[in-house]
Amino acid sequence: MSKMTMTQKIIAAHAGLEEVHAGELVLAQADMVLGNDITAPIAIQEFEKIGGGKVFDRDKISLVMDHFTPNKDIKAANQCKACREFARDKGIKNYFDCGEAGVEHALLPEKGLVTAGDLVIGADSHTCTYGALGAFSTGVGSTDMAFGMATGKVWLKVPSAIKIRLTGVPGKWVSGKDVILHIIGTIGVDGALYKSMEFCGEGLKALSVGDRLCMANMAVEAGAKNGIFETDRKTLEFLQDAGARDPKTCTADPDAEYDQAIDIDLSGIAPTVAFPHLPENTRTFDQIGDVRIDQVVIGSCTNGRLEDMKAAAEILKGKKVAEGVRLIVIPATQKIYLQAMEAGFIKTFIEAGAVVSTPTCGPCLGGYMGILAKGERAVATTNRNFVGRMGDPGSEVYLASPQVAAASAVTGKISHPREVMPV
Amino acid sequence: MTVKGAVIKYGDNIDTDGIIPARYLNTSDKKELASHCMEDIDGSFASVVKSGDIMVAGSNFGCGSSREHAPIAIRESGISLIIAKSFARIFFRNAINIGLPIVECPEAASEIEPGDEVGMDFDSGIITDYTKSRTYKAVPFPKFIQSMIEAGGLIGAVANNVLGGAENEV
């Protein structure tokens, strides 16, 4: 009997092996190779150095122009142009440009381009998002992407794993963002270094697919190679609705070896905020105090999905953004934008005094569309709060859920949603 | 294969936004990236770094984004080796893939001080602090990794066919 984790089973299946063990180096076949307008240009240069020619499979490469688009400056425009020409030249089917593009890790699940049991590599660290759907997916660099586009393959060191057993039901103002921030606060930004984080347990039932995408997305902020969730009825419905290929679901072997097991009772988690300048600097509201803010960003691959828009809109409905605070809302894809408009969320945001932007990664990484000045503070539903992440090295980013971000926009300070909502 | 140089030292959790801020990711020009290397952490780095210098750091070096611009900026600055307590995993593979030597050695990373003259022999894995007359043992680089470093990375090694048949397995 094998003793493999979920991750190890998927890697073994893609390496043509019966069994793999932690620490082993394998060459695996990828089902999808992903890049964006920042990482793909270097990959394309490297691809040309090994002779150019055909890509391994034009259906299994995704190029998403999302970071600095619509092009923020001439250099960004040139980078997108290089991607566009490469995609056209190689006949790459899943090329997404302005009008179709969205934040990559929201877009690929929505388009049904990832399914359970897949092995996905992406030249973007948040590629780990798709673990929410029962895939093994991990971030790599541009050279790996070039090699992947040429051969369909990637070298991988088989990871050991941390098992995270979830129980209970989260409270009213608690989302997947609070759960993952709590976990990172507990184990630290290198607490899962080189490892898988495998989420299981009856608590999963209380988490939406959106919550799980948010949690898997931030596995990398604990240093993890990937985060992966056991699949259930919700996963399968999501995949079917998205038109994804037939899922290959798997569970860990009963006696799979884990480095560590962590038990989390979801009912014990409170709204959580990560203070500057590391995602592990988490605090709950009994430790936060009066923190005045200048800007709020609601969006990104972490929290730019429709349910995030809905959560923010429910809090902002009929209210105004505090004087002196700038609220920027960014639906992660065109489809989400349209659905948010049809549901009236966009109207709510604009009436509250927010600006609503076309899908882009923009402000999350300090690219454009919401850069902070020296000394300014932002509450953001994004994933990183490193020094200078959203602008000036003297600015600060506080990571939170859409509920906390929306409430903070109303009060002008970091606020628990109950401060602005009737009980 | 050996390297030797003066040490520039940093702490724990040096992230890729600190190594090369995203505002410069609109280019893949290597010299331009190098000119902004470490800018938000250490504004003087680009002006003081000399070819051959060695970077020493704490744990989780290179955490954050997958941007290969980060190891590229460090390599193009002239850094010949990074010694750290540990590396974030994407940074680790990116550095190896572009031929930037990096090595984990917690003891050396703790004890070596800024300005020390340090060298490493890639065959034996021996790190020497000449200033303090101390040596440390790291895991040596396998031959194929040394070939990749000499060829300027994985792609260079594949293009120059220097992996000794290893590429036939892929």
Residues in A touching B154 (Cβ below 8 Å): 143, 147
Q: What is the pLDDT of residue B169?
A: 40
Q: Are the Cβ atoms of A27 and B60 closer than 8 angstroms?
A: no
Long-range CB contacts (within 8 A, 24+) of B133-141: B136/B105, B136/B107, B136/B108, B136/B111, B137/B105, B138/B83, B138/B103, B138/B104, B138/B105, B138/B108, B139/B103, B139/B104, B141/B1, B141/B101, B141/B103
ipTM of the complex: 0.94
Q: Pull the structure tokens for residue A280.
A: 């592990």
**Are the beta carbons of B18 and A39 separated by less than 8 Å?**
no
Residues A249 and A323 grouped into a single domain: no
- Which residues does chain A have within 8 Å of residue B98's beta carbon, measured at their own beta carbons? 141, 143
A333-347: average pLDDT = 98
pLDDT tens, A190-208? 999 999 999 999 999 999 9
Enumerate residues 137 to 166 of chain B having a beta carbon within 8 A of any beta carbon in chain A.
153-156, 158-159
φ, ψ (nearest 5 deg) of residue A274: -95, 120
Q: Is residue B128 less than 8 Å (CB to CB) from chain A?
A: no
For residue B63, give the nearest of A122, A147, A223 by CB distance: A223
| A76/A17 same-domain check | yes
Q: B25 — contact with chain A (CB < 8 Å)?
A: yes
Judgement on whether residues B80 and B63 belong to the same structural domain of the protein: yes
Residue length of chain A: 423
Same domain, A332 and A414: yes
Q: How far apart are CA A86 and CA A84, in angstroms?
A: 5
B90–chain A Cβ distance below 8 A for any pair: yes
Q: State the DSSP string of A57-97.
A: -TTSEEEE--SSTTT-SHHHHHHHHHHHHHHHHHT-SEEE-
Assign residue B53 the CATH number of its domain: 3.20.19.10
- Is A254 found in the same domain as A305? no
Which residues does chain B have with pLDDT short of 50? 165-170
CB A332 within 8 A of CB A102: yes
Q: What is the pLDDT of residue A194?
A: 95
Give the closest-approach CA distance of B65 to chain A in angstroms: 5
Q: What is the pLDDT of residue B165?
A: 46
SS3 A223: coil
Decide if A6 contacts A250 (C-beta within 8 A). yes
Q: Phi/psi zone of residue B38: left (φ > 0), alpha (ψ -120 to 50 degrees), beta?
A: left
CATH number at residue A241: 3.30.499.10
Which residues between 119 and 158 in chain A have a beta carbon less than 8 angstroms from any beta carbon of chain B? 122-125, 127, 139-144, 146-147, 151, 153, 155
Residue where a domain stops, chosen among A213, A244, A265: A265
Per-residue pLDDT, B163: 60
Which residues, at least 6 apart from A287, have a Cβ–Cβ distance to it below 8 Å? none
Q: Is A151 found in the same domain as A41?
A: yes
Say what the pLDDT of residue B170 is: 36
Q: Tell me, yes or no, whether B49 and B125 share the same domain.
A: yes
Summarize pLDDT for A104-140 with one digit per residue, the tens: 999 999 999 999 999 999 999 999 999 999 999 999 9
Tell me: do B122 and B150 sit in the same domain. Answer: no
Q: Which domain holds residue A360?
A: 275-419
Residues B170 and B87 in one domain: no
Residues B91 and B148 in one domain: no
Name every chain A residue with its beta carbon within 8 A of the beta carbon of B67: 38-39, 141
Query: Which residues, 6+ apart, have CB-to-CB distance to A123 below 8 Å?
Result: A34, A35, A36, A39, A40, A43, A139, A140, A141, A142, A144, A145, B66, B68
B99 inside 8 A of chain A by CB: no
Interface test with A, best of B155, B158, B162, B167 (most A CBs within 10 A): B155
Residues B104 and B161 grouped into a single domain: no
pLDDT value for B164: 52
How many independent structural domains does chain B possess?
2
> How is residue A44 written in tokens?
């394309």
Q: Which of A265, A296, A328 is the last residue of a domain?
A: A265
User: Which residues, including other chains, have CB under 8 Å from residue A307's CB and lie 6 or more apart?
Assistant: A208, A210
Contact A386 B17 (CB under 8 A): yes
Please check whether residues B116 and B166 belong to one and the same domain.
no
Residues of B in contact with A393 (CB under 8 A): 40
Q: Which of B10, B71, B65, B63 has its CA nearest to residue A366?
A: B65
Rounded CA-CA distance A311/A273 in Å is 17
- How many CB atoms are located within 10 Å of the residue B77 CB? 23
Cα-trace Rg, chain B = 15
Q: Which residues of A touch B63 (CB under 8 A)?
A: 189-190, 223
Any CB–CB contact under 8 A between A38 and chain B? yes
A115 shares a domain with A165: yes
Residues of chain B contacting residue A121, judged by C-beta atoms under 8 Å apart: none
Q: Same structural domain for residues B151 and B127?
A: no
CB neighbours of residue B38 within 10 Å: 23
Which amino acid is located at A108 in the chain?
L
Residue B64 has its nearest CB partner, among A68, A140, A384, at A384
> How confident is residue A342, by pLDDT bands cut at 50, 70 and 90?
very high
Could you tell me if B116 and B148 lie in one domain? Answer: no
pLDDT score, position A52: 83
Same domain assignment for residues A340 and A292: yes
A270 inside domain: no
B15: chain A residues, CB-CB within 8 Å: 384, 386-387
Do residues A290 and A331 share a domain?
yes
Q: Indicate yes or no: CB of A68 within 8 angstroms of CB of B155.
A: no
Residue A131, in any domain of the structure = yes
Do B127 and B169 share a structural domain? no
Claim to verify: residue A326 and residue A353 sit in the same structural domain? yes
Q: Does B73 touch chain A (CB under 8 A)?
A: no
Q: Is B149 found in the same domain as B85?
A: no
- Domain tally for chain A? 2
Q: What is the dihedral of CA A269, A274, A275, A277, to 10 degrees?
A: 150
- State the smallest CA–CA distance between residue A333 and chain B in angstroms: 21
The answer to whether the CB atoms of B66 and A141 lie below 8 A apart is: yes
> Are residues A210 and A72 both part of a single domain?
yes
Based on the domain organization, do A201 and A331 belong to the same domain? no
The number of beta carbons lying within 10 Å of the beta carbon of residue A356 is 20
* Judgement on whether residues A253 and A317 belong to the same structural domain of the protein: no
In a domain, A340, yes or no: yes
Q: What is the pLDDT of residues A212-252, one digit of tens each?
A: 999 999 999 999 999 999 999 999 999 999 999 999 999 99
Range of the domain at B60: 2-139
A141/B93 Cβ within 8 A: yes
Assess whether B93 and B132 both reside in one domain.
Answer: yes
